[in-house]
Amino acid sequence: MSLVEVKNLNKKFGKKQVLHDVNFVIDEGEILGFIGPNGAGKTTTIKLMLGLQSIGSGTVTIDGHDIVKDFEKAIEGVGAIVESPDLYMYLSGRQNLQLIANYYKGITKERIDEVIKIIGLGKRIDDKVSKYSLGMRQRLGIGAAILHNPKVLILDEPTNGLDPEGIKDVRELLIRLAKKEKMAILISSHNLSELDNFVTTACIIQNGHVVSNTSVKNLKKYDSSRYKIFLDKTKGISKYIKQEHNIISDYLIEVFIEDDDVSDLLLELLNNKYKIRQVIKEEMSLEDAFIKMTGGNTID
């Protein structure tokens, strides 16, 4: 069941159209990676989804409620971090969580303690947030977003400032929330390696257009696979390879080729006196797929 539906979202800043008919859905238990270069429209889309900016045209529906017409009901089931975890620096971590708990009915002290445990801030939770590192603030921000057990979690660059261990923790936490709590999660990031092997769907946005919205599996299949071939020499090899390729060194080439065509290529090379030492199929990363889709990190 779709918990989030974004339909034909358009937004202009002055005369400049920054979002063009953005469409996507997020189902229960799904983790959608919202990917795009800086300035592509990720944060703007998120702000429109949360009612933080006015919508030009189009609709955002969360758990069946329109975010404009039925704001309070729509937003009740949402937890979010937008841009950065903006917390009250002059209050302690616990006081920040307590403030947020007050906005909802039925958040007990036990729930606050549980969240403190989840985000791993146990010892420092009563310190003022101004004394926290960026990573600790990020954890507290996540705590603030999940405190009321939302059905939908929207996280804008939540791993900013986290160390590798912290990133791993967040990844595990989100996987758990998606699987156990059936949360629909949107996570935006420009660090694609963090999202790899973690998000279930990738929605790629560029210059305000969604250029791809498919499962990560499909995305990686989008184009040919990449093979590394080690040889005794590479001189003059290009004339025997029809596919896109790079000569990396005197003994190594990289070829983008369909799996079915690999044997033909190898035969051709053998026939032309090239000795093949090793053939490795490289799994395509999300980053490769992204670069393929967007043609690099450029903003038009």
Partner 1 sequence: MIRLFQNELFKIFHKKGLYIIFLISILMTGLITVLNNIDLSGVIADNTNFEEQLIKEYESGNVELDEQYINAKSTMATKELIKNNDNAKKYNSPEYYFITNVIQPLYNSYYTNLYLYNDENTANMIKKQVDSKVKDLENFDWKKQINDEIEEIKTTECDNDEYCIKVNQEKLFLLNYRLENNIPYSHKDSSLSIDTYYGNYMTYLQTEKDESKYKSRDSLIEKREVEKATQTFRYKLDNKLIDDSYTDFSSQYTFVSSMGSVSIFVVVCIVLVSSSVIADEFNKGTIKQLLVRPFSRSKIIIAKLLAILTTILLFVVLVSIGQSLVSGIINHDFKTLIDPYVMYSFDSHSVIISNTLFSGLLRYACILPEIIILTLLTVLVSVLFTNNGVSTAIGIVTYAAAGILEMYVDAKPIISYIPLVNWDFSMYLFGAMPQSKYLVLSKSLYICISTAILLFIGILLFFKHKDIKNQ
State the residues that interact with partner 1 by CB under 8 A: 43-44, 47, 50-54, 71-73, 75-76, 78, 80, 82-84, 86-91, 95, 99-100, 102-104, 144
Nearest distance from C-beta of residue 54 to partner 1, angstroms: 6
Report the half-sphere exposure of 42 (CA within 13 A, side-chain side). Answer: 26
Strand pairing category for 201-206 and 31-35: parallel
Nearest distance from C-beta of residue 103 to partner 1, angstroms: 4
Q: Rank residues 91 and 293 by Cβ distance to partner 1 and give the closer one.
A: 91
Q: Rank residues 147 and 216 by Cβ distance to partner 1 and give the closer one.
A: 147
Q: Rank residues 141 and 166 by Cβ distance to partner 1 and give the closer one.
A: 141
Nearest distance from C-beta of residue 53 to partner 1, angstroms: 4
Q: Rank residues 1 and 99 by Cβ distance to partner 1 and give the closer one.
A: 99
Nearest distance from C-beta of residue 88 to partner 1, angstroms: 6
* Separation CA 262–CA 279 (nearest Å): 10
Q: Rank residues 99 and 248 by Cβ distance to partner 1 and give the closer one.
A: 99
Nearest distance from C-beta of residue 129 to partner 1, angstroms: 10
AA letter at 90 = Y
Nearest distance from C-beta of residue 87 to partner 1, angstroms: 7
Nearest distance from C-beta of residue 163 to partner 1, angstroms: 23
| Residue corresponding to tokens 């995305």 | 219
264 sits in the region (left: phi over 0; alpha: psi -120 to 50; else beta) called alpha
Q: Rank residues 76 and 113 by Cβ distance to partner 1 and give the closer one.
A: 76
Contact partners, residue 271, CB within 8 Å, separation at least 6: none
Q: Rank residues 97 and 286 by Cβ distance to partner 1 and give the closer one.
A: 97
